[in-house]
């Protein structure tokens, strides 16, 4: 039932807090250097073009928001597979309210719809102690049905709409930082090693940045502060680690879990809203496209932490953005990046003394490298798989070092045995 098999999770402590932030920046810099090198070797300039990076951001944010929903829920000890359904409800709420009352009411509506899904999940798992996965699966079924039915009711008669999609919707305002973005664009065009790539990142973040993107980033960092630096956060996390101990200290575990799971729906709904009004131009059936699940995977990859889940989302978002902007050729260039990464991992495993794993990783890396050398492009059907394969690969490589909240997914009854 747990999201990472329990036998692999030692009840040890979290990683030391010191230097984690610095290490994340170091990883990010390493990734940038690798991407830049691949860009120079393959000549695929689109790899770090502003357009690709912007597509990557737009693809990453909904995944990060779903992951943020998962973070809230699972930190309070409730596994939330229903994120996908809450996201679907969010796309519907955004479609309806944005059409009639504009972007901001649309965002509130999407969050409200998501919250309804979250509250339903909380009712089933917290109040009635139903298995978390079972409840989540049921919510996904209900949400897909409700959305498909109500979409026809809401949008079928509207001009530009239809039984499966809304008319095109207003977009949230966009921010451009004058001066900075132009300067960065100038440097990015030069094609210099690392420097231009960094400039492209700056340019992507300062030109036509959606307000919703900014809001999402604030939600992620705000969550980090709230959950790790306030008494409220400590109590909420204690419900996910040791609910009976929390209860003995006077924490109302039911209330915290209920709040957390409902908020989980709010963020998933926000993610749905982002999909409907930023990533595309309106509601459509099937718009969420498994992003709720990918968000959950990103959160697991990020070790149940806000910074980690953002990194995971950027990884998935980037592979999606590369596919959207550059198609088969760009994804083909990513193969080289993957090969380099795998070789690096093999060396690290060898250094740590895992000879068999290192050999296996090396063989896979050689296979990927051969694929890169032997072909020029990747068929469209395969590029569609990119985010999913990336999710599987990353989880397979990372899952051994992860530690989920100790009581995640376990039923809790007040006054039960600890």
Partner 1 sequence: MSLGRRVLLGAAAPVLASVVAAIVTSVVLLGSGDSPVEFWQVVLSVPDARQFVNIVNVSAILYLSGLAAAIGFRMNLFNIGVEGQYRVATFAGAFFAGQAFLPGYLNTAAAIVVAMAAGAAWAGIAALLRVTRGVSEVISTIMLNAIALSLVAYLLREFGNREGQTIVTDQIQQSSWVPNFTLVPGEDTKVYGLVFLALVAGVAFAVVLSRTRFGFELRATGQSESAAVASGVNVRRMVVYAMLLSGAVAGLIGMPELFGASHAFGSTIQTGIGFTGIAVALLGRNRPIGIAIGALVFAYLAQQSSPLGIEADISPEIIAVTQGVVVLSVVIAYEVIRRYQVRLEQAQVADTLRRERAAGQEVSA
Angstrom distance (rounded) from CA 60 to CA 319: 9
| CB of 47 closer than 8 Å to CB of 188 | no
DSSP secondary structure string, 224-237?
HHHHHHSHHHHHHH
In the region spanning residues 190 to 249, those forming contacts with partner 1, defined by CB under 8 A, are none
* Min dist. Cβ of residue 361 to partner 1 (A): 12
CA angle 77, 80, 84 (to 5 degrees): 165
Binding span for partner 1 by CB under 8 A among 40-48, 147-155, 179-187, 367-375 = 147-155
Q: Are 266 and 110 in contact (CB under 8 A)?
A: no
Near partner 1 by CB under 8 A: residue from 97, 155, 267, 293: 293
Out of 37, 112, 119, 148, the residue judged to bind partner 1 by CB under 8 A: 148
Nearer to partner 1, 79 or 188 (CB): 79
* 311 within 8 A of 24, measured Cβ to Cβ: yes
SS3 382: helix
- Provide the minimum distance between the beta carbon of 382 and partner 1 in the complex, in angstroms, as a whole number: 7
* 152 is a contact residue toward partner 1 (CB under 8 A): yes
Binding mask 380-399 for partner 1 (x = CB under 8 A): -xx-xx--xx-xx--xxx-x
Among 19, 102, 145, 160, binds partner 1 (CB under 8 A): 145
Nearest partner of 329 among 370, 367, 378, judged by Cα = 378
For partner 1, the closer of residues 224 and 312 by Cβ is 312
Closest to partner 1 by CB, 75 vs 235, is 75
Residue closer to partner 1 (CB basis): 86 or 199:
86
Please tell me the distance from the alpha carbon of residue 85 to that of residue 91, in angstroms, as a whole number.
Answer: 10
Q: Look up residue 284 and give its DSSP letter.
A: B
Q: Would you call 196 exposed, middle or buried from its count of C-beta atoms within 10 A (0-12, 13-18, 19+)?
A: buried
Residues 353-382 vs partner 1: string with x where CB under 8 A? --------------------------x-xx
The region of 185-193, 235-243, 257-265, 292-300 touching partner 1 under the rule CB under 8 A is: 292-300
Q: Which is nearer to partner 1, 202 or 296 (CB)?
A: 296
Which stretches of 231-354 are DSSP H helices? 231-241, 243-248, 253-274, 291-301, 306-352
Q: Which 64-93 residues touch partner 1, going by CB under 8 A?
A: 81
Phi, psi torsion values for 292, nearest 5 degrees = -60, -45
Applying CB under 8 A, which part among 143-151, 190-198, 238-246, 348-356 lies near partner 1? 143-151
Distances (CA, A) of 216 to 61, 212, 221, 269: 7, 6, 9, 12
Q: Which residues lie near partner 1 (CB under 8 A)? A: 1-5, 7-8, 81, 120, 124, 128-131, 133-135, 137-139, 141-146, 148-150, 152-153, 163, 290, 293, 296-297, 300, 379, 381-382, 384-385, 388-389, 391-392, 395-397, 399-400
């Amino acid at each position: 039932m747990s999201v990472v098999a329990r036998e692999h999770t030692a009840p040890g402590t979290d990683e030391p807090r010191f230097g984690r932030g610095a290490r994340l920046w170091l990883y990010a810099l390493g990734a940038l250097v690798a991407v830049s090198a691949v860009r120079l070797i393959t000549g695929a300039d689109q790899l770090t073009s502003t357009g690709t990076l912007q597509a990557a951001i737009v693809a990453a944010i909904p995944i990060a928001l779903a992951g943020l929903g998962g973070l809230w829920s699972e930190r309070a000890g409730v596994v939330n597979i229903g994120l996908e359904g809450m996201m679907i409800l969010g796309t519907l709420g955004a479609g309806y309210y944005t059409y009639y009352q504009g972007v901001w009411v649309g965002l509130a509506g999407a969050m409200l719809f998501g919250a309804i899904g979250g509250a339903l999940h909380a009712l089933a798992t917290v109040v009635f102690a139903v298995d978390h996965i079972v409840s989540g699966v049921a919510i996904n079924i209900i949400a897909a049905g409700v959305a498909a039915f109500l979409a026809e009711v809401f949008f079928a008669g509207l001009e530009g709409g239809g039984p499966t999609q809304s008319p095109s919707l207003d977009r949230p305002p966009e921010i451009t930082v004058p001066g900075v973005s132009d300067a960065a664009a100038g440097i990015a065009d030069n094609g210099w090693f690392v420097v231009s790539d960094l400039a492209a990142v700056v340019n992507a973040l300062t030109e036509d940045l959606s307000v919703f993107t900014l809001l999402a980033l604030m939600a992620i960092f705000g969550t980090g502060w709230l959950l790790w630096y306030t008494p409220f956060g400590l109590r909420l996390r204690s419900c996910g680690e040791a609910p009976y101990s929390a209860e003995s200290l006077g924490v109302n575990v039911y209330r915290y879990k209920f709040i957390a799971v409902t908020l989980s729906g709010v963020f998933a709904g926000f993610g749905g809203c982002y999909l409907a009004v930023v990533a595309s131009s309106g509601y459509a059936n099937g718009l969420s496209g498994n992003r709720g699940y990918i968000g959950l995977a990103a959160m697991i990859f990020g070790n149940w932490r806000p910074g980690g889940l953002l990194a995971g989302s950027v990884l998935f978002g980037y592979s999606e953005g590369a596919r959207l902007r550059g198609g088969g050729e760009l994804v083909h260039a990513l193969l080289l990046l993957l090969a380099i990464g795998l070789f690096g991992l093999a060396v690290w495993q060898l250094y740590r003394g895992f000879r068999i794993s290192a050999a296996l990783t090396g063989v896979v890396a050689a296979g990927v490298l051969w694929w890169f050398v032997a072909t020029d492009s990747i068929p469209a059907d395969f590029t569609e798989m990119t985010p999913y394969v990336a999710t599987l690969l990353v989880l397979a490589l990372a899952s051994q070092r992860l530690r989920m909240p100790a009581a995640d997914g376990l039923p809790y009854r007040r006054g039960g045995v600890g």
